[in-house]
Amino acid sequence: MKDLNMRKDFSRFVGSRIRSFREQAGLTQMQLAFMSDLDRSFIQKVEHGRQSISFENMCEIAKCLKRPLSDFVPLVKEEAEG
């Protein structure tokens, strides 16, 4: 269950970052979709955290938004095992 929550949190975080950077760039979802060769409905689902995104698609979106990939990925602290 914890793994599922972590994946949902990750998807929501990435999606909110994409939306924020897209809006800062003054782009619509349609424009970003065209630039990244992705479907607008896919962009919408990702931005709302309802769709996970592949590494390749995240790289393409980061390139289109002229942002480093690290801007889209949350810092994660590893839990100590024991």
Place of tokens 């949902």: 8
What are the structural domains of the chain? Answer: 2-70 (1.10.260.40)
Two tokens, residue 22: 């897209």
pLDDT one-digit tens code per residue, 12-62: 999 999 999 999 999 999 999 999 999 999 999 999 999 999 999 999 999
Cα 74 to the chain's mean position, in Å?
A: 10
pLDDT band at residue 74 under the 50/70/90 scheme? confident
